[in-house]
Amino acid sequence: MIGWMGKRKPLFLFGMLALLLAGCGKENLTAFEPKGYGAESSMNLIILSIIIMAFVLAIVLLVYVITLVRFRKKKGQENFIPKQVEGNKTLETVWTVIPIILVLILAVPTVVATFDLADKSEAQDGINVEVTGNQYWWHFNYQGDEVQTSQDLYIPTGERVYLNMKSSDVIHSFWVPSISGKMDVNPENVNTMYLEAHEEGVYWGKCAELCGPSHSLMDFKVIAVSPEEYDQWISDMQSVDPEANPEDAVAQDGKALFEEKSCVACHAIGSSPNATGPNLTNFGDRTKIAGYLEPTEENLVKWITDPESVKPGNKMTGNYPDVSEEEAEQIAAYLLQLSPSDITTESAGN
């Protein structure tokens, strides 16, 4: 004989799994710990919607319990038919008007917040970054500063940074949950939003629109630093000389191979206009390779020699001459020493 626990075991296990998964995640990859203006607006809307849903749930449960207790079938009333109230104009008006009011209470602040986060009336006097979404990486062009980079977006705290976003291929969605909401990134038009971080730190971003087989690996970071550190970072990036030779002999050989193997045809170093691949000016400062691998020489060599096994569907596969493991190690040595600034993801917030 199966006891009550046996019948409800799947539901119990599902509940425990949901509770466990609710505790997963990263501190700087959640909308529930807002660290920026946009995230605070989103959190306020989340709280408002929860209050409305809790109110509706409480009313429904109250009516349900009253009905269950007051109108339950009593002994001797097996054939009793309660008073029928279909067509009651008062009731129909109440349960039509109340939902409309609740929807308006939620809709009005949502629309206000949506337009507020897309407001670009002061963009001309602020920091503007041209953002390009690609399968499966992000490119950032700091307009007016002659600075370009990929994957890591540096911003100053306490200032609005306007992002003018467009896709080079399919539809993407730019999302940094800890400091702002989402914005679609389309091939046909430019969408604008702004970021405003309150605290220094490294905030994880995601593409929130299914864009291909490696969509889940399309991670990036927003590094919020003090205004003084931001100015220093901009200055350091502007001072990069793409032709400078590394001090290390292995890295020098890697630089030569980087040019010989046509890597420069797709990857820019410095402020040169970007081609089809990520800008590598400050590659050595990144804390991830291909968006998610740890920045070790071994992982970088694997990425160079067999990118398809690391990130399926990427556009690098098959678009450069064969590279031996030894050559890949030399190229890796060159790339890992590309660190033009002391302002990095490691130093942010410290």
Angle at 62 between CA 61 and CA 63, to 5 degrees: 95
Angle at 186 between CA 27 and CA 114, to 5 degrees: 60
- Residue 138 domain-assigned (yes or no): no
pLDDT tens digits, 49-66:
999 999 999 999 999 999
Measured distance CA(210)–CA(261) in Å, rounded: 32
**Structural domain tally of the chain?**
2
Look at residue 154 in the predicted model and tell me its pLDDT. Answer: 97
Look at residue 1 in the predicted model and tell me its pLDDT. Answer: 46
In the Cβ-directed half-sphere of 78, how many Cα atoms lie within 13 Å?
Answer: 1
pLDDT tens digits, 152-181:
999 999 999 999 999 999 999 999 999 998
Residue 281's Cβ-count burial label (10 Å; 0-12, 13-18, 19+) is buried
Q: Which domain holds residue 50?
A: 8-72+85-117
CATH of the domain at 258: 2.60.40.420
Positions of the chain with pLDDT lower than 70, given as ranges: 1-7, 22-27, 273-275, 349-350
- Is the pTM for the entire model greater than 0.75? yes
- Residue 164 domain-assigned (yes or no): no
CA distances to 15, 180, 219, 233, 286 from 175, in Å: 29, 7, 10, 23, 19
User: What does the DSSP 8-state code read for residue 126?
Assistant: S
- Residue 166 domain-assigned (yes or no): no
CATH of the domain at 67: 1.10.287
- Residue 283 domain-assigned (yes or no): yes
- Residue 289 domain-assigned (yes or no): yes
pLDDT tens digits, 111-142:
999 888 888 888 888 999 999 999 999 999 99
In the Cβ-directed half-sphere of 258, how many Cα atoms lie within 13 Å?
Answer: 25
Look at residue 121 in the predicted model and tell me its pLDDT. Answer: 86
